[in-house]
A and B are shown apart, each in its own frame.
Chain A
Amino acid sequence: MTHAASIQASPDGERRPGAIGDRHLRLVAIVLALIGLGVASYLTYVHYEDIRPVCGLGGDCIKVQSSEWSKLAGIPVAVLGLIGYAIILASLFVPGEEALIAGALTSLVGFGFSAYLTYRELFTIDAICPWCVASAIVMTLLAIVTTTRLLLSPSDQRGALPYVG
């Protein structure tokens, strides 16, 4: 049974199947946020240590990282990604609707900006950085998962109750 099916199958009264679905979604989000955190940490590390990133699949990471879109208001986008993934990850361990909103908002912002950067890579910089594409994919999946949780998570997990997976 897929997550979506388990959520739709929620009976009116008991939201148990929905609750299981949400728990699965949360676990998926944690794994995705950890992957994103790893990618962003690596890109931040190579940025500050001035190291040539491992850049397979015919990519050109240096070209992308030397471009004017590698920074936002003077801050490397790798650092912004790191902060974004950290916020998303933290939100997954905090109970309440505010945390769901914070997670969804951060990942939607990340998705939007990643889409813009990928567009710049393809059409302006004319080079692809596989790490950046990986981050964009992870952020897209996180946006889907966190938005789904915001819409469908059971009410009994939205209060300020201890929230352990």
Chain B
Amino acid sequence: MSSEPRQTRQQRREAARTARVEAERAQAAAVQRRRRLMTLGGVLAAAAIVVVVAIVVSGGGGGDKASDRPAAAQNASGAIPGQKESSEMLAGIPQQGIYLGKPDAPVRLVEFADLQCPICREYSLQALPQLVQDYVRTGKVRMEFRNLSFLGPDSVKAGRAAAAAAKQNKLWNFAHVLYFNQGEENSGYVTPQFIDRIDKAAGVDAAEADAFAKSAASQEPLGAANTLANQYGVNATPTILVGKRGGTLKAVDADATDVGAYKSAIDAALGQAAG
């Protein structure tokens, strides 16, 4: 009889203890949940910041964004970017259609490029001037520009205009000036006005070039370049092939701006041509 109240008290104490443990556990779980959610919030915020920075940096990076360039070509009141550089680089060097340099040069360099390709732009602006100065101007190398147009409609429009410039033996000026003013890929920046300004800066007769670019004949060099690219197994732009005149051409495995690698390949071909 006397044990019953004691048992009840024990049960009550047990129940209270269980409730306290439950409450502590629930509180601990809530604290943990809050802490994990805060961690997740921090991780999400940090990830968002890194992604935004990466997006800002991508696509040309810094102050040299492709999207900024066509405006420069269209708005400049005086000289167009690249006009001075291209005329200085090419002054006095013979051009014939897609070729640059003397026909009897012992070494041949073939460039496969798309005028919209940003890495081709890097090659053209950072490696080409030195190569022209050291090898084409000195009569050692004859260069050939094979215009691929696989990146999109703007590539085709620019390619047809380039074919028109080639007809006037001004292709190398045209391509070099265009690379300086290259816009955001397939943004529709290759307008008649854009081509007109590039033509003028490259010394091309714009009216005559426009008429040719509209004709079916302006497509032919693009098709020929594509056929040749397939023949040589060219699978990326820019691809630079080098070899002695009349010999086998070999692709130079180098970064677009690695002038040293191109020089080595040309020197090796010059050695073969001399030997």
A: residues with CB less than 8 A from B are: 12-13, 50-52, 62-63, 65-69, 71-74, 97, 101, 104-105, 108-109, 111-113, 116, 120, 124-126, 147, 150-151, 155
Q: Is B237 interfacial (CB-CB < 8 Å)?
A: yes
Q: Is B111 interfacial (CB-CB < 8 Å)?
A: no
CB distance from B149 to the nearest CB of A (A): 11
Q: Known: A69-B58, A72-B58, A105-B46. Contact between A112 and B51, CB under 8 A?
A: yes
How far is A51 from B79 in the complex, measured between Cα atoms in Å? 40
Identify which of residues 133-191 in chain B touch chain A, using a CB-to-CB cut-off of 8 Å.
Answer: 150-152, 184-187
Q: Known: A50-B235, A62-B236. Contact between A116 and B186, CB under 8 A?
A: no
Contact B57 A72 (CB under 8 A): yes
How far is A155 from B33 in the complex, measured between Cα atoms in Å? 11
List the A side residues contacting B55 at CB < 8 Å.
Answer: 113, 116
How far is A113 from B55 in the complex, measured between Cα atoms in Å? 7
Contact B150 A105 (CB under 8 A): no
26 contacts between A and B (CB under 8 A): A13-B25, A62-B150, A63-B150, A66-B114, A66-B117, A66-B118, A66-B151, A67-B118, A67-B151, A67-B185, A68-B118, A68-B185, A71-B58, A72-B58, A72-B61, A101-B39, A104-B43, A105-B46, A109-B50, A112-B51, A113-B51, A113-B55, A116-B51, A120-B59, A147-B43, A150-B36
Partner of A151, one of B29, B36, B184, B235: B36
List the B side residues contacting A112 at CB < 8 Å.
Answer: 47-48, 50-51, 54
List the A side residues contacting B273 at CB < 8 Å.
Answer: none
How far is A21 from B87 in the complex, measured between Cα atoms in Å? 68
Q: Known: A67-B185, A150-B36. Contact between A52 and B51, CB under 8 A?
A: no
List the B side residues contacting A111 at CB < 8 Å.
Answer: 47
Contact A124 B48 (CB under 8 A): no
CB distance from B107 to the nearest CB of A (A): 21
CB distance from A126 to the nearest CB of B (A): 6
Partner of A155, one of B25, B32, B57: B32
> Total A-B pairs in contact (CB under 8 Å)?
94
CB distance from A123 to the nearest CB of B (A): 10
Q: Is B72 interfacial (CB-CB < 8 Å)?
A: no
Q: Known: A105-B46, A113-B55, A151-B36. Contact between A124 and B187, CB under 8 A?
A: yes
Contact A108 B151 (CB under 8 A): no
Nearest neighbor of A108 in chain B, beta-carbon distance: B47
CB distance from A139 to the nearest CB of B (A): 12
List the B side residues contacting A109 at CB < 8 Å.
Answer: 47, 50-51, 54
Nearest neighbor of B48 in chain A, beta-carbon distance: A112
How far is A66 from B186 in the complex, measured between Cα atoms in Å? 13
List the A side residues contacting B119 at CB < 8 Å.
Answer: 66
Partner of A73, one of B39, B57, B253: B57
Q: Is B128 interfacial (CB-CB < 8 Å)?
A: no
Contact B186 A62 (CB under 8 A): no
Contact A50 B236 (CB under 8 A): yes
CB distance from A121 to the nearest CB of B (A): 11
Contact B59 A68 (CB under 8 A): yes
Partner of A72, one of B48, B54, B150: B54
Of A63, A68, A104, A111, the most chain B CB neighbours within 10 A belong to A68
Partner of A124, one of B51, B186, B235: B186
Q: Is B44 interfacial (CB-CB < 8 Å)?
A: yes
How far is A101 from B151 in the complex, measured between Cα atoms in Å? 40
CB distance from A114 to the nearest CB of B (A): 10
How far is A52 from B185 in the complex, measured between Cα atoms in Å? 21
Partner of A66, one of B29, B40, B50, B236: B236
